[in-house]
Amino acid sequence: MDINGKHIVVDLETLSTKSNAAIVSIGAVLIDNLEIVDTFYCNVDARHGKELGLDIDKDTVDWWANQPIEYQKVWQVDPLRMEHALTRFTTWYGKESLPIWGYGANFDVVILENAMKAAHHYIPWKFWDIYCLRTMMNVLDKRLPKANNHHALDDATAQANMLLEILKS
């Protein structure tokens, strides 16, 4: 991995914590030469994910119902069909396999891959380019700021800033 090269940090909001969760928003940040150079965000219609066999979990739906209404409303604005959201994301990501970082070895990237498989969509990264920011942070005893508002782009940006802090040190 080229530390100064391109990296993608992705964060999802979902309606389940399972590896095949229905996605409601995708946020991502592109880092190049140790700088944030671009972002991606879209909302996803979870009904279409459910039609593809993705999981909607009652406990997660109940958890969202207990969050501030402004957190819930964000991902309900102009949601795209799963297939359209994935196409927009992979077009933004590009065809070259880049290091892709998620906050958890078994969450964001795994869920995104499972959604792509369910939609018969191309996965643009190679398995060896998947990295876990949470693991790296735990090894280095780092913590994200507490201002997590469950907005996929805001969370991806906070995670990208943490990754930059680590890579620059």
> pLDDT tens for residues 11-59?
999 999 999 999 999 999 999 999 999 999 999 999 999 999 999 999 9
Mean pLDDT of 6-11: 97
Which token pair is 1? 């991995």
User: What pLDDT score does 144 carry?
Assistant: 87
Which token pair is 75? 């991902």
**Contact criterion met (CB below 8 Å) for 160 and 166:** no
Which token pair is 42? 């879209």
User: What pLDDT score does 72 carry?
Assistant: 86
* Residue 112: φ, ψ to 5°: -65, -45
Model pTM score: 0.95
Say whether pLDDT at 145 is over 90: no
**Contact criterion met (CB below 8 Å) for 92 and 40:** yes
Burial class (CB in 10 A: 0-12, 13-18, 19+), 21: buried
CA angle 131/163/88 to nearest 5° reads: 65
Using CA of residue 39, residue 90, residue 50, residue 108, what is the dihedral sign? negative
Mean pLDDT of 125-154: 90
Dump pLDDT digits (tens) for 72-98: 888 889 999 999 999 999 999 999 999
Using CA of residue 83, residue 86, residue 92, residue 94, what is the dihedral sign? negative
User: What pLDDT score does 147 carry?
Assistant: 63
Burial class (CB in 10 A: 0-12, 13-18, 19+), 58: exposed
What strand order describes the sheet that includes 130-132?
35-43, 23-32, 7-14, 100-102, 130-132
Domains in the chain (CATH in brackets) are 7-168 (3.30.420.10)
Say whether pLDDT at 110 is over 90: yes
User: What pLDDT score does 146 carry?
Assistant: 67
